[in-house]
Every structure is written in C-alpha cells, then in structure tokens.
Structure 1
C-alpha cells in the first residue's frame, strides 16, 4: 500500500504566518492631498501621499512602495551607499589602506592620527550623513506632525555638516597656495563654520515659523544663507578654475561638473517645476524636488571624485605646508560644528513640540 503524502503546511509554519502578517502588514494605497494634513502637502503635488498615523514599520516598508517620496528616498539612499563604497575602494586601492590613521606612531609603534588624510575622511562622513538624514526624513516624515518636524530638523543638521565637510576638504586639498595665503583663505574655515550653523538655524526657523501656504520669504530664509555659504565654500575651486587651465588637472573638469550640477539642483530646489505647469502629472516621477535630489546626489559623487584627485596631488606636502597641529585643529572644528547644529535643532524641536501641544489642547 502506498504511503499517504500530506501537503499541509507544517504546524510551525502555520503558527509563523500570523506573526509574519503582523510584522509585514499590507500597506494602504497612497492617497490624495485632501486626505492628509496640510503639513504634509506639497504645492502642485496632488496624489501619491502616504496616510498619516500608521505604525512606524509601515513607513519603513514603504521604501518598497510606489508613492511621491519613493524617488526622493532611493536617490539619496543609493548615493550614500555609492559614496561609502567608492571611498572604501579608494582608501584600499589608492589611499594606502586606512585613511585617517597611521598604524605606527612617531615612536614606531601604536596608532596615531594621519592629519593629511583626516579631512578626506570627515568629508566622506559628512556626505554619508547628509544623504542618510535626507533619506530618513523623506521615508519616515509622514508618521506624524511631531515626526515630520523632528526628521526635517535632523535633515538640516545633515546639510550643515555636509557644508562644512566640503569647506574643510576643498580648502585643504583643492585650493592653490595663492588662495590659501590670501585674506579670504586665512578666515575661510571660521567663516564657513559660522555660515553652516547659520544655514541650519535659518532652515530650522523657517520650518517652524511659517505655515502653508508658504510665503515667498520662507524660501528666501532658507535659500539665502545656504547660497552665501555655497559661494564661500566653493571659492577655493572658483579661484583655481579662474587661474588655471581646466586641462591642467584631472580634478578640474570634475569640479566644473559638480558646480554645474549644484546650480541646477539649486534651481529645482527653489522653483517647483515642472509640476507647477501641470499639477498632478509629475506626482510620482519628475517633480522638482526629485530632480533636486538626483542632481545633488550626482554633484556629491562628482565632487568626491574631484577630491580624490586633489588629495593625491596635495597629500605629500600638506603637513609641511599647514603643520600637523593646524590640520588637527581644523578637523577638531568639524565635530564642534556638528554639535552646535544638533543643539540648535534640538532647541527648535522643543519649540515645535510645545506648539503642537498647544494646538491639541
């Protein structure tokens, strides 16, 4: 007699299925702008919003759902991964292994800081930080109004950290001696730190101060400090492009590319196009903030490649020209700036929470 074969699911699997259904809930379909609070709506974006008030895991899983933030999240998530992998490959293949540290100290043993490569490490950290904070903000912000404010304040901290990471690396690796010895070169890093903090504070203030529909001066409050900071931060590159042939170094065409990409990204950040001319048509793919994200991600990748070339060019003489103590002091200002921005964002977050509690009473 043939044995009977059972095709029923094992009891362990049958018990596991309800648990999986709770851990991996089916996500509700995206909704229209009229179905979400005004805080979450974007001008000229009509559909593709995720409902507010869902469990946190729903927003994490919405990473794999199609909605109007999908491209915003993935563009910066993939860019952060690309920055990390490319930096690792450069460190192993061309940078001599562990950048930022020396495996032998001055006495020939132990571990010490490699002052010549530490600014490049801090730049990579700043780029990964801003890209990751941006991806997290766009992925999770629809959970609640409190989460929306908290996450975008964190996003502004990431942007300020990246601004100063760029300023630090560009001034040390991409500047020529004439710019470094100029008056601007002498005050560059303190001014860049001040403007990075001011950009963070202005963006946080504008986020809390203005309500939809946003007035024009809200955008100006965000764009003007960031624009002034960018003009200062890019000045070492601008001077070099103006005084050298663009074919004299492999880094210079990449610097031109990163400037062009940044200016294009700034345009799409400032102007809601093309969705302004056809509301609803570019909700999922193609609206201005998505183009801003894509262009800024490409700008960061081009900038990193340019800095790799400049790093190999300047590294041999960097410690001799600046001095190890001066380089380490400049690098120490990086966590100080990050801490100041984080404290500013936390103070603004408390104000946002107090305001939301008053509205709920």
Structure 2
C-alpha cells in the first residue's frame, strides 16, 4: 500500500534542462557570390567574386562586419580610423585641459560655463572626421541590402565627405595660416568658397549617383573628382603657402603637413584609377584593389592631419582670439551645422527624386 502510494508522489528533478546547457548556434551568413550572381548596380569593375547576396535580412549585413568579403577592408579601414580619431582627440583633450573641448569652467567657485571659441574649430574638425569615416564605413557595410538602401547610403556618404571637407577648411583656416596668407584675397574669401565647394562636392556626387553607374566609369569619376579636387586645392592652400615660405617656427608640424600633402593626392589617384585590379581582374577582389588602397591611405592621411592640427593648435591658441575675434570664430563655427543641413537637404532631395 505504501509502495503504491509513494509511486503516486511526483518526482522533482533539480537538473538544468538540456536547452539551458546547449550553446547557442553561431549566426549563419550566406556565402559570398560571383559578380554574375548579383545585379549590375552592386558590381565593381574588375572585381569577380566576394559579393554579398542582395535582399537578405539587415542582420546579415551587420554581422558581415566579421565576414570576409570584397568590402571587408573598405569597412574596417574607415571604422578603425574613426575610433582612432575619437580616442586620440579624447586623449589630447584630457591631457591639455583648459577648455580644449570648447567649454570651460569660470568664476571663483568654478561655477558656470563659457564657450572657448579658440578650440571650437578643432572640436568641429574631429566631429567632421569621425562623421565622414563613420558614414563611409556604414555605407560599405550596408549598401548591398537593396537598390534604395544602396542609393540612400551613397547619398549619406556624400554628405560625410562634404562635412569633412568643411571641417578641414575651418581648422586649417584658423590654426595653420600665416599673416601674409590671411591678408591675401584668397584668405579673405577662403571660408565662404570652402563652404560652396563642399556643398558642390556633395551635390555633384549625389547627381552622379542618380545619372551614372559602372556603365559610364569615366564620366562618373570625372564628375566626382573635379569638385573634390577643387575643394582640396583650396583647403590645402594655407598649408601649401607655409610650406613654400617655410614659416613654421618649429619643426613639429612641418613633417606632418608634408606627409598629408603627399598622402591625399596618392589616395585620390587610387580613387580615380582601377589599379592594380585592371591588370589582373579577380586577383585583388578581397584585398589590394584600388578602392581599398584609397580608404587605407585616406585613413592614414586623416590621422596625420589631426596630429598636424594638434601641433598648430598648441602653437596658435594664445593668439587665435586676438587675431580673429570671438564673434568671428563663433559665426564661422555656426556655419558648420548650417552646411551639414544644406548637404543633408540636397541628399534628401536626390533620394526623393530617385524614389520617384
């Protein structure tokens, strides 16, 4: 009787269910494809393999950050550069102190804030560099999802390029030039001209995306390179003038400026010319092709330029407010978000036209 009664008592198990102990399966990503297996919009000239399939879940493109495909280098090089720019700027801000972030405490009790206008252009430069590099990495990571996503992300990348161009122009205008360049006609119209050329670069790149693709490679590259080249020649003019006159008081920033002047045209060359993949189609699909070299060189150029601006900032900071005036600096910095809005509106108009 007791045996039969005990058999009716439910047994309680304290063992963990098998589901709790089983490891989660690793996320599976679709394999890469040949160029003939993806639509023409997503193909690059002389690149035969390594394409991600179009139209799969967004999660797959995000996770493809850790997958080997033909955009891996194009994603990681600007992404790592953006992290390095942000970390290096943070270290510089902490070590230098005294309002390097554009704001500082004031008053005998340390209460209240005031804007440190002399450091704001450097802050905006760092913001522009991180914005540009992040937009570039995001565009290359996600653009294979669909036709609308491709065009939207390219437009976003164009805005990032324009923002970076103007951020460079603003910082170089304040920290790098000497008095001779500032008093010249070019120095007087520098910032307005830089803003116009930055917007024109963004608008032209969006227009190219609407009208040309790989079937018109020469027209496409010419329309992209010409406004960017004009903006670069303008932006680098204060550096070129000082290199020509050798008017740096110390040699700390001089080699850095020389290096950035060398690196940017070299990166532009690889952006414009499909070398070396044109000589061996398919051999440089995953590493070594021109657009990857362009991103690597541009990332290094950005890091070198930031270091050069740090040196110029430390040298010029005591005289910046006296030479430019706080009102002029604040107005010049206020033009930065205005340019961002103008470029964003232009890109949005292009996106709406593409959808229509």
Structure 1 residue 107, shift from structure 2 partner = 11
Residues in 2 aligned to 1:295 and 1:37: alpha-carbon distance in whole angstroms: 29
Structure 1 residue 211, shift from structure 2 partner = 3.5
Point out 4+ residue stretches in structure 1 off by more than 4 angstroms: 105-108
Runs of 5+ unmatched residues, structure 2: 1-12
Residues in 2 aligned to 1:247 and 1:177: alpha-carbon distance in whole angstroms: 14
Residues in 1 aligned to 2:227 and 2:85: alpha-carbon distance in whole angstroms: 26
Change (3 A) 1:100 1:247: closer
Change (3 A) 1:270 1:104: same
Structure 1 residue 217, shift from structure 2 partner = 1.6
Residues in 2 aligned to 1:42 and 1:105: alpha-carbon distance in whole angstroms: 59
The residue aligned with 1:73 is 75
CA contact (8 A) 2:175 2:316 kept: yes
Structure 1 residue 213, shift from structure 2 partner = 1.3
Residues in 2 aligned to 1:228 and 1:158: alpha-carbon distance in whole angstroms: 17
The residue aligned with 2:187 is 185
2:112 alignment partner, one of 99, 110, 115 = 110
Residues in 1 aligned to 2:260 and 2:102: alpha-carbon distance in whole angstroms: 25
Name the TM-score, length of structure 1 as normaliser: 0.91
Which segment drifts farther, 316-325 or 236-245? Answer: 236-245
Structure 1 residue 113, shift from structure 2 partner = 1.0
Deviations 1:18-46 (A, max 9, x none): xx55xx63001110000101000000000
Aligned residues: 344
The residue aligned with 2:338 is 336
1:55 alignment partner, one of 51, 54, 57 = 57
Structure 1 residue 96, shift from structure 2 partner = 3.2
Alignment of 1:132-211 (within 5 A): 132-211=134-213
Residues in 1 aligned to 2:17 and 2:150: alpha-carbon distance in whole angstroms: 43
1:226 alignment partner, one of 216, 225, 228 = 228
Structure 1 residue 9, shift from structure 2 partner = 6.3
Alignment of 1:17-32 (within 5 A): 21=25, 25-32=27-34
Q: Secondary structure at the residue paired with 2:206?
A: helix
Residues in 1 aligned to 2:324 and 2:249: alpha-carbon distance in whole angstroms: 27
Change (3 A) 1:319 1:288: same
Structure 1 residue 216, shift from structure 2 partner = 1.3
The residue aligned with 1:236 is 238
**Structure with larger Rg:** 2
Residues in 2 aligned to 1:284 and 1:298: alpha-carbon distance in whole angstroms: 20
Residues in 1 aligned to 2:93 and 2:260: alpha-carbon distance in whole angstroms: 22
Runs of 5+ unmatched residues, structure 1: 1-5, 355-361
Residues in 1 aligned to 2:60 and 2:16: alpha-carbon distance in whole angstroms: 28
The residue aligned with 1:260 is 262
Which segment drifts farther, 36-45 or 92-101? Answer: 92-101
Residues in 2 aligned to 1:252 and 1:190: alpha-carbon distance in whole angstroms: 27
Residues in 2 aligned to 1:81 and 1:55: alpha-carbon distance in whole angstroms: 27
Q: Secondary structure at the residue paired with 1:282?
A: coil
The residue aligned with 2:124 is 122
Name the TM-score, length of structure 2 as normaliser: 0.93
Change (3 A) 1:215 1:269: closer
Residues in 1 aligned to 2:189 and 2:72: alpha-carbon distance in whole angstroms: 41
Residues in 1 aligned to 2:27 and 2:253: alpha-carbon distance in whole angstroms: 48
CA contact (8 A) 2:82 2:129 kept: yes
Determine if the alignment matches structure 1 residue 36 to structure 2 residue 43: no
Change (3 A) 1:108 1:85: closer
Q: Secondary structure at the residue paired with 1:143?
A: coil
Residues in 1 aligned to 2:227 and 2:121: alpha-carbon distance in whole angstroms: 24
The residue aligned with 1:357 is none
Which segment drifts farther, 299-308 or 249-258? Answer: 249-258
CA contact (8 A) 1:246 1:253 kept: no
Q: Secondary structure at the residue paired with 2:143?
A: helix
The residue aligned with 1:359 is none
Residues in 2 aligned to 1:36 and 1:247: alpha-carbon distance in whole angstroms: 56
The residue aligned with 1:310 is 312
